[in-house]
Structure 1
């Protein structure tokens, strides 16, 4: 696997700023984008949505990823959805390249790109550039995965804290994928990931950065975390009622898929996979899936709240959502 290339951020053509709608999972990003599309259509502007979501890129991951409906995708042209198989890997560097290319192509058609999503590593790569961390090492990764399953990931997180306390501080103890990657980077280079990122040309992309002048960032950040959690519980139960278990069962018929692939590690899919493997019961599956979803939202909000200059709106406040839509309209009208 090749090393991720460094992406040098560039200004949009003619310094035209790109609108980007972000927020934690379940905050209503897609709803805001579709409301904007309905308005712009009425005034003769056509927007195209570039998805900034690490789960939506995979074919077959539909219900559990809350993928926009076919009707929504037919109403508004969406990009970076259903572009690879779940056996493949999609990276932040690839997203940065794809998003940059798509913004240019959409403008060449006379339309307006709008980036929508909550995968903040993708945001970092697109907005600031991404450093060249070492590529994955299958042997080291397999060893760490074996140790994690044997010792528990909180124990592995404790190991990470000894060699890279800065990275450990921003990761949840049960975030197996990211804890494993940080330990892998240290095992390969002998240096903590936090140091490598700090020394990289993309240092400006670290937490606490200001927004590049060529991006307008609209961030949906709920003031009522409990209400968000209740909405996420309701959404997960609706996914189950819509056939989420059958969706994962269908994925499991592909002999090339396994629990360690990034697609299957997606929130909800990993826990459902464990249930179908017989490792946990249905009640535990639901509990773990909701806990992982809440942790994801917490990480996303941590990223967002450290970005200076973003415009924030509470998605549970109708007046603020109206103002958020007006702010989006203003960006596109200028």
Structure 2
């Protein structure tokens, strides 16, 4: 039998700060300007275009890929080769172990720091990757909020153990209905954070995030997205999966598990890694694993495309066959020259 709820979630909403201006200065990461953004769905050819473009721009590349940050996760994330990284400096690749759940706040802190260092050396910056939340947070800015209240989190976690996660979800609906609608059922970490922000700031998390909903590319920057007809992109995805398996994806996952044991929640749920884990534990066959990687990648591509099409101001570069990839860098260079960016 569950214990009676002690109403831990029923905290008062009082703004503890003297000035909202002070709050904004401390808790908001501004948009990243005076850079070039290159994005596109998985398998669209970003790496090939980026290398050619970076060389022409005398730029260094900052990765905008939530999985490329993990050490040892090379084949499944299609990281640029060692040779490519020696030719063009790359940043935010291989920076944390796959046992760590890397956050968007960490990414923003690191990316802003690296961009400042690159620009201080007189080099241009090319941000390349297909993680939509990372991209949007760079272009629009991001409310990272107050530091964690660990006493509050511990108390809430203990209460959830007693009364269940549904009680947490119901309290969030009362405090922040919009966040409650956005957060997936069962995502306790995000629900606790939304309640924590409301408790510490006196306003719902959704209120703070509203100002970042309007997507506008910063004035001194330009953003480009590679677009493919869906059937062609599906073919490229299938070829990518075949190549990854031939290059030793399963052996890579096996080596990661041998070195680290259980991978972190983020790394272990990554497309291209969770399926080989299932295969290695005997849950599925090789053919099923391959099919699941292909299907999950295509589903992820579809979600990426929805994100990219909802971002006005990003210049879409349509492709119909592989040979056109060789012309994309020159088209981007022409667009940059016309705007005198970079």
In which range does the TM-score fall when normalised by the shorter chain?
A: 0.7 to 0.9
- Which residue in 2 is equivalent to 1:58? 70
Cα 1:234/1:198, change in 2 over 3 Å: same
- Which residue in 2 is equivalent to 1:8? 29
TM-score when normalising by structure 1: 0.76
Select the residue among 134, 142, 150 that pairs with 1:130.
Answer: 142
Quick check: 1:113 aligned with 2:130?
A: no
Quick check: 1:21 aligned with 2:32?
A: no
Cα 1:188/1:49, change in 2 over 3 Å: closer
C-alpha distance in 2 between matches for 1:196 and 1:30: 39
Question: What is the deviation of 1:190?
Answer: 6.0
Larger relative contact order (CA 8 Å, sep ≥ 6): 2
Question: What is the deviation of 1:243?
Answer: 0.8
Cα 1:169/1:275, change in 2 over 3 Å: farther
Question: What is the deviation of 1:220?
Answer: 0.8
| 8 Å CA contact 1:219, 1:313 repeated in 2 | yes
- Which residue in 2 is equivalent to 1:241? 246
Gaps of 5+ in 1: 149-155, 172-177
Cα 1:257/1:6, change in 2 over 3 Å: farther
C-alpha distance in 2 between matches for 1:235 and 1:168: 37
Larger Rg: 2
| 8 Å CA contact 2:180, 2:191 repeated in 1 | no
Once the two structures are superposed, what CA deviation does each residue of 1:220-247 show, in whole Å capped at 9, x if it has no partner?
A: 121x112111111111111111111110
Once the two structures are superposed, what CA deviation does each residue of 1:68-124 show, in whole Å capped at 9, x if it has no partner?
A: 011111111000111111112221112212222222211111211100001111112
Gaps of 5+ in 2: 1-25
Select the residue among 297, 303, 311 that pairs with 1:307.
Answer: 311
C-alpha distance in 1 between matches for 2:331 and 2:320: 16
- Which residue in 2 is equivalent to 1:199? 207
C-alpha distance in 2 between matches for 1:57 and 1:188: 23
- Which residue in 1 is equivalent to 2:19? none
Cα 1:196/1:274, change in 2 over 3 Å: farther
Cα 1:28/1:255, change in 2 over 3 Å: closer
Once the two structures are superposed, what CA deviation does each residue of 1:126-184 show, in whole Å capped at 9, x if it has no partner?
A: 2223234796968859x89xx99xxxxxxx9xx99x9699779989xxxxxx6543x54
Where do 1:238-317 residues align within 5 Å?
238-258=243-263, 261-317=265-321
TM-score when normalising by structure 2: 0.74
Worse-superposed segment, 88-97 or 63-72 = 88-97
C-alpha distance in 2 between matches for 1:168 and 1:289: 30
